[in-house]
Amino acid sequence: MPRLGFRGRQQLASLGEAAAFKILQRFPNLSDYIDYMHAVSHSLSTQAHVSVSAPTVPISELERDETWGSGSFLDHVLLENEMLSSQLSSAADKICCDRLLKQIRKFKCDMQDMSVETSVREDVHKCILKELMGKNKWSVEESNMKFVAIHEFYEIYFKGFPEDARDIEDSYMESVIMQEICGTIFREAAQDTERRLYLMKMKYEGQSERLVSLEASVLESEKVLNSVTEEKEQLQQELVKISALLEEKEKVALETGSMLMKEMERADQIYQDLSSFKRESNMIKIFIFFFRLKRIKFQCDVLVQNAALSRKTELVYKQRLERRYSDLQKAEAEVDLLGDKVNALLSLHEKIYIGLNHYSPILQHYPGVSEPSFIPCFTTFSCYKDLSFFRGNYFIVLDKFAQELNLNWL
């Protein structure tokens, strides 16, 4: 059996070993052609995939028309290849009828053998029956001859003794008994032979009926065989046509393969041009990114210098703030001392005011004391009260002042 490829084995696996062997004997290059057509279809599918997924490139209208024309032609070739493969599979399925033909022929041979066997068996049975009948006839004749001989012997024997009538009667009775015994033996042998003949007749009738049924089935199988032979002739004609078409398609496939090789070389050239163009565009992008990075670096250097200057000014303002804060703390301590003194004076003036207010009706009777003289006392007291309020809110004012200074420095 010739060497098969993977695709050839897949196509011929469902046909059976006998049909596949006959097909391969009739068409030895069929498996190579199947593998070649599958390889061409695979390359066409990959080429179509590459042409679809490739980047767009400006192509002239003439080249586009040629490309699309070759693609449609290849699609047509692939479609015809699929149709031929389907026809080949159907033809192979029909060729499987050879098995049926072989079985019918074998069945016919078996029928002939059985008919010969039945005829031989019938002849053997006839010979056996003849032999049995001859044996029975010979045994009957032999018994008759024995009876006649015994009868003659007794007649001769009893001729010398006529006076003994009783002995004669006994001998006659014995002869009668022997005759009856021989008759019963003959009847039993005849019945036995008739029984055997009946059984053999029944077997012969069964064999004849079976032979008739087998002859009817043989006639039907002959009709089927004739129809199958006609179909086989038609299939052979179709196989001849398919082989011619396969040769033509093989030539077309070779031409399309050469065209595909040219198209692949052309696509490789276009791909190389596209790769060089892409490389140049990547280099331009890299240069643009490099100049952007340099500009950003220069701007970052300026920002770093500004940050250093801002840190220096921050230190200066911080030192000034600390110095002013220390001055304010000193002023606060002085204000606390002055506030204590003011509180002492206020308490003293309050006592004086209380005393004057207590003695004011008495002092009115004196000529040198009048009511307007009390006005300065009240004004000084109110001033002292305002000063105590200022002392209570002094820290709040200092905090607000420090916050304003911080905002101005920032």
Using one digit for the tens of pLDDT, what is the confidence trace for 300-313?
888 888 888 988 88
Same domain, 64 and 209: no
Rounded CA separation 133/189 (Å): 10
- Cβ atoms of 107 and 303 closer than 8 Å: no
Please give the Cα distance from 25 to 10 (Å, whole number).
18
Residue 221 token pair: 């199988």
Q: Is residue 281 part of a domain?
A: yes
Decide if 224 contacts 104 (C-beta within 8 A).
yes
Based on the fold, state whether residues 136 and 267 are members of the same structural domain: no
> Do 127 and 209 have their domain in common?
yes
What is the domain extent for residue 360? 298-409
Most confident of 82-86, 101-105, 301-305: 301-305
- Examine the domain organization and report whether 115 and 205 are in the same domain: yes
pTM higher than the cut 0.85: no
- Tell whether 120 and 220 lie within a shared domain: yes
Q: Which of 264, 291, 318 is the last residue of a domain?
A: 291
Classify residue 122: in a domain, yes or no: yes
Decide which of 239, 269, 291 is a domain's last residue.
291
Query: In whole angstroms, what is the distance from residue 287 CA to residue 285 CA?
Result: 5
Residue 155 lies in a domain: yes
Question: Do 130 and 187 fall into the same domain?
Answer: yes
CA 260 to CA 292: how far, in whole Å? Answer: 47
Q: What is the mean pLDDT of the chain?
A: 68
Distance CA 88, CA 375 (A): 138
**Are 114 and 97 part of one and the same domain?**
no
In a domain, 1, yes or no: no
What mean pLDDT do residues 380-394 have? 44
Domain boundary among 242, 258, 291: 291
Residue 286 has pLDDT above 70, yes or no: yes
Residue 237: inside a domain = yes
Cα–Cα separations (whole angstroms), residue 244 to 247, 249, 259: 5, 9, 23
What CA–CA distance (Å, rounded) separates 130 from 136?
Answer: 10
One domain, residues 117 and 93: no
Chain centroid to Cα 342, Å, comes to: 102
Q: What is the pLDDT of residues 44-75, one digit of tens each?
A: 445 444 333 333 333 344 444 444 444 555 56
Does one domain contain both 250 and 393?
no
Residues 280 and 305 in one domain: no
State the pLDDT at residue 365: 63
* Domain assignment of residue 57, yes or no: yes
Query: Is it the case that residue 17 has pLDDT exceeding 60?
Result: no
Give residues with Cβ within 8 angstroms of 150, minimum separation 6.
Answer: 175, 178
**Residues 221, 271: one domain?**
no
How many distinct structural domains can be found in the chain?
A: 3
Tokens at 168, concatenated: 């004669």
Q: Is the domain of 205 the same as that of 245?
A: no
- For 183-219, how does the pLDDT look when each residue is reduced to its tens digit (9 = 90+)? 676 677 667 767 777 777 787 777 777 777 777 777 7
Burial code (b: 16+ CB inside 10 Å, e: under 16) for 119-130 equals: eeeeeebeeeee
Are 349 and 377 within 8 A, CB to CB? Answer: yes
Lowest mean pLDDT among 145-154, 163-172, 179-188, 397-406: 397-406
Maximum Cα interatomic distance, the chain, rounded to a whole number of Å = 239
- Higher pLDDT residue, 244 or 94? 244
Q: In the numeric block, which tokens belong to residue 312?
A: 């220096």
Asked whether residue 42 carries a pLDDT value surpassing 60, the answer given is: no
